């Protein structure tokens, strides 16, 4: 038996966490309808964990109700995941779903990974438009505008070009002021996140923007570099995706636009 409060508190500090009672009318357990907006939001943001059979109210206080027939709910989950009329894509494998005992009651822990750019948008129903695509924002599942959805679809086309690793940069190519702003936003929203234990170079690598073996030999994911300033100091349009050619000899600026559109961890 696992101490629910300790486990759930730890989860909430390290990842996005959503708890749902999932009791059903008969009390035996049922996959709730509001699971799907959360699934879409996690997939289109940073991923997360959904725990069925637990209620969190108020925030940070967990009440374990349990699920009487968890296997029934797990079967329902996978049936719906593979139904294209319910959801556009299945991101969950068998290993991502676990039935655990919290305070002597059965709960279901579901890990939802973040979708790749070519997989997004992950949406509910047969069309991504009309409020069927969600993102996670401030512990809530928020429907995306049609313009945001069109941007996700456009990024699929740009993915091959923009996801290539650009070599030949070093630490001086980073706009350190905007990177400091990004770190502070991250710290304000997730003060215990393990990424914050890294120095600036380590945080850059953890977020997936930069890689390489050292500060003098960085490679950058072109698709995650937004709002670029050339060496002459002239800013490019905020939010513009810059391909490999446009990033040569450029100064990379990271900030709120990058967190919103380019796949960096979104701290809010």
- Same structural domain, 193 and 223: yes
Q: Which two tokens stand for residue 42?
A: 């996690």
Question: Rounded to whole angstroms, how far apart are CA atoms 252 and 227?
Answer: 7
- Do 131 and 207 lie in one domain? The reply is no
Domain containing 246: what range?
Answer: 163-261
194 domain-assigned? yes
Higher-pLDDT residue of 116, 212: 116
Q: What is the mean pLDDT of residues 22-34?
A: 89
3-state secondary structure of 251: strand
Q: Which of 71-80, 160-169, 249-258 has the highest mean pLDDT?
A: 71-80
- For the whole model, what pTM was predicted? 0.62
Mean pLDDT of the chain: 75
Boundary (domain end) residue, out of 114, 144, 174: 144
* Number of domains forming the structure of the chain: 2
| 131 shares its domain with 33 | yes
- Shared domain check, 126 and 41: yes
Q: How would you class 200 by CB atoms within 10 Å of its CB: exposed for 0-12, middle for 13-18, buried for 19 or more? A: middle
Enter the tokens of residue 109.
């822990």
- Do 172 and 80 have their domain in common? no
C-alpha distance across the termini of the chain, in Å: 33
- Whether 149 is covered by a domain: the verdict is no
| 39: CATH | 3.30.950.30
Looking at the domain assignment, is residue 151 inside a domain? no
User: Do residues 73 and 179 share a domain?
Assistant: no
The stretches of 31-120 forming alpha helices (DSSP H) are 35-44, 70-81
């Amino acid at each position: 038996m696992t101490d629910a409060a300790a486990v759930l508190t730890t989860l909430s500090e390290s990842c996005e966490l959503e708890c749902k009672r999932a009791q059903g009318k008969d009390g035996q357990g049922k996959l709730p309808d509001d699971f799907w907006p959360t699934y879409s939001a996690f997939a289109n943001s940073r991923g997360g964990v959904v725990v069925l059979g637990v209620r969190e109210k108020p925030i940070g206080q967990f009440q374990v109700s349990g699920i009487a027939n968890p296997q029934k709910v797990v079967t329902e989950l996978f049936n719906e995941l593979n139904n294209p009329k319910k959801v556009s894509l299945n991101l969950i494998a068998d290993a991502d779903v676990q039935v655990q005992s919290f305070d002597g009651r059965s709960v279901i822990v579901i890990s939802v990974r973040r979708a790749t750019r070519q997989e997004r948008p992950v949406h509910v129903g047969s069309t991504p438009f009309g409020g069927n695509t969600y993102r996670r924002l401030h512990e809530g599942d928020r429907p995306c505008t049609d313009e945001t959805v069109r941007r996700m679809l456009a990024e699929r086309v740009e993915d091959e070009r923009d996801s290539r690793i650009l070599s030949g940069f070093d630490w001086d190519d980073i706009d350190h002021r905007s990177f400091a702003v990004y770190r502070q936003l991250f710290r304000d929203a997730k003060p215990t996140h393990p990424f914050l234990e890294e120095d600036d170079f380590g945080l850059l690598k953890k977020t997936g923007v930069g890689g390489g073996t050292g500060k003098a030999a960085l490679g950058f994911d072109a698709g995650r570099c937004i709002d670029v300033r050339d060496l002459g100091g002239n800013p490019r349009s905020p939010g513009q995706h810059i391909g490999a050619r446009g990033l040569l000899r450029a100064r990379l600026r990271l900030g709120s636009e990058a967190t919103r559109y380019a796949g960096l961890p979104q701290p809010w």
